[in-house]
Every structure is written in structure tokens, then in C-alpha cells.
Amino acid sequence: MLDLDLDLLAAETYSAVYSDVCDRLGLRHQSMAPGIVPTNSKRVLVGWARTARSAPVDGLPERPYAQEIEFVDSLRGGDVAVVATGDSNAACWGELFSTAAIGRGARGVVTDGLVRDGAKLAHLDFPVHAQGSHPTDCLGRISIIETARPVEIGELTVSDGDLVVADVDGVVVVPRARAEEVAALALEKARTENSARDLLLRGGYLRDVWAQYGVL
């Protein structure tokens, strides 16, 4: 993986600055569609996409959860599980998957699907971003059919190894080839915004902030 300090980025940056930097660099469609929200944590999630795609299945498989087990067991330190499910009423993620992912060193999960075990997820230090929650299990309803391949979430393509930033505002995905550049600029912008905030709190005008720092 690229040599980025993910903990530092999670502490000092947030999705909006990545979106702004991507806009500045001509990458104007890097935010996931609204609706994928944090279910158990308000802290910023930053990590490397580990992709999986699920699809509907008809009936119970011979080996229950085989693909899901393989995917979760494949997670590495710094990974964010990105699970594309499309339109499904079954939960693709829950507390035991999260617990196993923590043990593998993963940093969180982002899915356009549903999750369950919300009360237990609330006690885990593992950010989960999803469309919502539902008690119904995925077994015999949807199953992972491929991993480590580009997945479509809404109109955004996420590739294995892309940089994922998720927080209360939403999810931004930075192409891996631009990750170092974007992360450095995002960190710079976040620190500049901190200076601008201090000026405003001292009674400065927005026009002065814009003129001095070029941020709003």
C-alpha cells in the first residue's frame, strides 16, 4: 500500500476537504450518492478499499457464508470493506463480521446495502456506513460473487486499493493513482480551514477569510 498515515488523516481531515481537492484537480464525481450514512460512529474513516460485490441467490447454498467468510478473512491492515449489493432487503453485514474484520486490522466498512446487530455494532470501534438496517440475514438471499474487482455503487466506480474517506457528510473515493497527491492537499486544506475558523471566531468577516485563505 502507499505510505500514508491513515490515523493522521482520520484525525485531521474529513470527506468535504477531499471532495474539494478532487474538484480542484478535475475529479468532480468522487462522492457516493447521498444515503450511505454512519450507523454506529461519527469519527472519520480513512482506509484502502477492499471491494466485494453481492448478488441475489435462490435458496440455501451447500456451504453457508463461504464467500463472505473468504472475503472477511482476506481483509488486511488499513482496509475498508466496500460491499456493493444493489437493491436488497437483506443485511449483508453485522456484528460478527465487524469483529472478525477488527481482528484482521481493517478500519471499517462501507456498503450500499443494509446491516444488522445495530446495538452490538454501537459498542465496537469499527465504523460502519450503510443505507440502513434490517434484521433479515443474507443467507439464501444475497451472496458475494466476486472480490477485488471494481464495483459500482450508484454512479461511482470503486476499485480495489482506492482511498476511501467516510464520515457524517458521506463517502468520497479517491483513485489510488491520485491518493498521495489528494491526501497531501486535503491535509493542507484542513489546516488552512482551521486558521480561517480562528479568524472568524476572533470577529473576522467571511470576505476577509476568503481574501486571505481562499476557503469557505
Cell 481482528 appears where?
103
What domains can be seen in the chain, in order of their start residue?
A: 6-176 (3.50.30.40)
> In the Cβ-directed half-sphere of 165, how many Cα atoms lie within 13 Å?
30
Backbone angles phi, psi at 27, to 5 degrees: -100, 80
Q: What is the pLDDT of residue 214?
A: 85
- pLDDT digit string (tens) for 20-39? 999 999 999 999 999 999 99
pLDDT tens, residue by residue, 71-114: 999 999 999 999 999 878 999 999 999 999 999 999 999 999 99
Instruction: List CB contacts of 192: < 8 A, sequence separation 6 or more.
Output: 213, 214, 215
- Look at residue 177 in the predicted model and tell me its pLDDT: 97
The C-alpha atoms of residue 199 and residue 98 are separated, in whole angstroms, by: 41
Q: Helices 179-201 and 15-24, interaxial angle, to 10°? A: 120
CB 35 within 8 A of CB 47: no
- The pLDDT assigned to 213 comes to 84
* Residue among 51, 26, 87, 68 at smallest CA distance from 160: 51
Helix (H) or strand (E) holding 145: strand 142-147
pLDDT of residue 140: 95
- Residue 171 grid coordinates: 463517502
pLDDT of residue 47: 98
Distance CA 50, CA 12 (A): 23
Cβ distance 174 to 2 under 8 Å? Answer: no
Say how far apart CA 111 and CA 35 lie, in whole Å.
Answer: 10
Angle between helices 95-104 and 66-73 (to 10 degrees): 30
Residues of the chain with pLDDT under 50: none
User: Residues 6 or more apart from 79 whose CB is under 8 A from it?
Assistant: 47, 48, 49, 50, 101, 104, 105, 106, 107
pLDDT at residue number 1: 56
**Cell 466485494 appears where?**
52
